[in-house]
Amino acid sequence: MTFTLHRSSKRVLALVLSLLCMTTAFLPVKARADNPIVQHVYTADPAPLVYNGRVYLYTGHDEDNSTYFTMRDWRVWSSSDMVNWTDHGSPMSLATFSWAGADAWAGQAVYRNGKFYWYVPVRMTNGSQAIGVGVSDSPTGPFHDALGGPLIQNSEIDPTVYIDDDGQAYLYYGNPNLWYVRLNADMISYSGSPTQIPLTTAGFGTRTGDANRPTLYEEGPWFYKRNGLYYMVFAAKCCSEFIAYSTSPGPTGPWTYRGTIMPTQGSSFTNHPGVIDFNGGSYFFYHNGALPGGGGFTRSVAVEKFSYNADGTIPTINMTTAGAPQAGTLDPTFVPCLQVFQGFPNGDTTQAANYVSASGSACPGPLPSTLIFGLQVPRHFVVPSTQQWNLTVQRALGKQWVLEVGYIGTHAVHLRETRDNLQSQRASVSSPAVVSGANCDGSSVGPAATCSITTNTFGNAVARSRVQGINGYAGFQLFANDAYSHYHSLQTSLSRRWNAGYFQAAYTFSKSTDATSSGNTAFNTAFNDESTLDASRGLSDFDRTHRFVVSYRYDLPFYKGETGWKAAVLTGWALSGITIFQSGTPFSVTDSGAGSAFLGLGFTPGTLSGSLASGSTLATAVTKGDIHNRIDGYLNVNALTTAPLLYPAQCLTDGNFCTTDFGNLGRNVFRGPYQQNWDFGLIKNFKLTERQSLRFTTDFFNIWNHTNFGNPTLNDVESIPLSKSPFGKIISTVGTPRLIQFSLRYAF
Ligand code: FUB
């Protein structure tokens, strides 16, 4: 059974700006772990392990009221944020090892090949100390004795284990000496004999006053590698202990003493290190006697966050009661603060509004929400789905001719689209945009106060946002899944297959419409008014009303009876080809200066439409005649114009009023030139022997070298006044020029 520990005073406070479903979560600035980590039982000898996005903390367990290291079991705890810890109980104890009788002391767990190995020192029933191994399929156990006996028996304690990058695992341990063995890949046996590390003062510091222990090394080693440097962190001197460390360029030395990490502190005369990197931070675990009733035999595990120095050395770390900050929270510098409307300068609603920062939990960071670029995703993102209908009638006409006529339709929903659904509202005297939080001149503030905006200026655009305090004018995008598509088609084909070849003529009359044909990831796809998809529905970018395709292959039957050179030259010929006639694809005439009353200029230039000039129609906006004579003017510039100014008279004297409406053209209302292409193949087969043959093929792609023109490339009406404007001109072709390809195939 597991349960989660809660700290009522400093628990996680997750304030999501639910009104917006924004991806930014507002988290508390001060949530910390509260040392000691575990406050309902005594714990000692921390051994953290990072596995699968969580920290698993393996500890010993000091019995209540102990007057010695009376320890009978080990405990496991875990956390994903270093603040909230889950108690996984006691999955290993002295009872796990039938040959052990006492002293469930300082161990360490490691993961390898799908199993968790927990190395622990115990006192055997015969009275001497040894190191055993528990193994489990889960980081939280239960663990069982991997060997049925000790792994190492040389009266030493405190194993620490590390698997190097080359796969070699090292088990260090010892008090008063420091030993290591090279573990085999099975992690429960080792190669060679236990090796003693020379405890030199250069390697482990100098201790005075104890001739038997000339270096600072005492016990509790914690061995690991970071950025190519090997670290041996250990409990130093006795007693009371402090935590010191040494480093080495290799896994077995030579070691260089680096100094103190945690000075002698707390009311426990022992200490024990455990060091990890987790979620971009480094953490130092230790124990002290900080709980009520705590002391040298009733200890508690705690943790501090720290940063390595640039050269890899470890700074001095002191014990705190605050503990580590919550991992995975945002730096408050980057957490937006909701802005609250305070009226307009002098009550002039055509100007930029005044805002103040919200207070309390609505305002955890200093970044004004009106200045952020917000991104919104649906909380429930439904995957796209497509329905398809197909009703086809097939009729044999005799002489191997087959006629097929069918209706095929599809409908897709929940397609990706991107838009600014908070775009500024359209305000008018009859339908004002009402802002709450203050009256217009700011003399009265509070939730009940409102201000009505009746103009659509550049100045008041942010105030007209559909969510107050969030910049819907040019700083917001919704990644939505509410786009759709429809396709209807009449598909016919007439085909014949016979010994000498096949022929098929297929004609499709179709219409494809959608809200967007490009579910891109960064730019707005919605057309004109982005508060809905209503203006976005139009012909699909790939729609072709007519498509007629003829394909064939015919083995010429002539001179079948010839022999000799005549047979070689005149027989074995075949023809093949594909000919396509099809409508061009749709395109839009845009106005990058349109809609500036609602969407910031330049924010979404490719999805704002231009307008038809007065008296013009869609038909007159496209020139007529031979396409070759129209490439310099596919569109009629006189029939197309920019979207209208909302306040043309005031705009003459005040730029704040030069906002524009959306244009009156829809999406994809124009269509590019139709296309045709003829591919043709000439095949000559040579029969060499019964089993060997040659085939020589000449393929002509676009055999008539017909030019297929692309759509006009630049269709932004703002470019019409430019001298030599490329507006509405065709400057590209599609398909290939004539290509001739020869190929030879030898079959045997
Ligand atoms: O917890 C019992 C012993 O005390 C450990 O094995 C040593 O590291 C020291 O912390």
Helix (H, G, I), strand (E, B) or coil at 648: helix
Nearest to 726 by CA among 743, 737, 739, 710: 710
Helix (H, G, I), strand (E, B) or coil at 369: helix
105 within ligand 1 shell (Cβ under 6 A):
yes
What separation, in Å, do the N-terminal and C-terminal C-alpha atoms of the chain show?
72
Structure tokens at 128: 């001497």
pLDDT at 14: 25
Please write the tens of the pLDDT for every residue from 614-642. Answer: 999 999 999 999 999 999 999 999 999 99
Please write the tens of the pLDDT for every residue from 642-671. Answer: 999 999 999 999 999 999 999 999 999 999
Determine the Cα–Cα distance for residues 386 and 156; give it in Å rounded to an integer: 68
158 within ligand 1 shell (Cβ under 6 A):
yes
Confirm if 269 and 197 have CB atoms less than 8 A apart: no
pLDDT at 32: 60
In DSSP notation, 508-539 reads: EEEEEEES-S---SSS--S-S-TTSSGGG-EE
42 within ligand 1 shell (Cβ under 6 A):
no
Position with higher pLDDT, 194 vs 565: 194
> Which residue's CA lies nearest to atom 1 of ligand 1?
105
Alpha-carbon torsion (198, 201, 202, 206), positive or negative: positive
Determine the Cα–Cα distance for residues 366 and 361; give it in Å rounded to an integer: 12
pLDDT at 88: 97
Determine the Cα–Cα distance for residues 338 and 26; give it in Å rounded to an integer: 11
From residue 614, alpha-carbon distances to 618, 637, 691 in Å are 12, 12, 75
Question: Which residue is listed with tokens 């930014």?
Answer: 24
- Hey, what CATH class is 26-306 in? mainly beta
Mean pLDDT of 729-744: 95
**What letter does residue 605 receive in the DSSP assignment?**
G
Structure tokens at 462: 């942010």
- What are residue 171's phi and psi, to 5 degrees? -115, 110
Mean pLDDT of 281-308: 96
236 within ligand 1 shell (Cβ under 6 A):
no
Please write the tens of the pLDDT for every residue from 432-444. Answer: 999 999 999 999 9
Mean pLDDT of 17-23: 32
59 within ligand 1 shell (Cβ under 6 A):
no
Domain with CATH 2.115.10.20 in the chain: 26-306
Asked whether residue 18 carries a pLDDT value surpassing 60, the answer given is no
**What letter does residue 201 receive in the DSSP assignment?**
H
Measured in angstroms, how far is the CA atom of residue 208 from the centroid of ligand 1? 22
Pocket test for ligand 1, best of 272, 287, 298 (most atoms within 8 A of CB): 272
Compute and round to an integer the Cα radius of gyration of the chain.
Answer: 39
Asked whether residue 163 carries a pLDDT value surpassing 90, the answer given is yes
| Residues 346/348/352/355 CA torsion (nearest 10 deg) | 50
Cis preceding-peptide flag for 240 (omega within 30 of 0)? yes
Rounded (5°) CA angle 586-588-590:
170
In DSSP notation, 384-421 reads: PEEEEEEEEEEEEEETTEEEEEEEEEEEEEEEEEEE-T
Asked whether residue 28 carries a pLDDT value surpassing 70, the answer given is no
Mean pLDDT of the chain: 92
pLDDT at 389: 96
145 within ligand 1 shell (Cβ under 6 A):
no
Asked whether residue 299 carries a pLDDT value surpassing 60, the answer given is yes
Position with higher pLDDT, 333 vs 526: 526
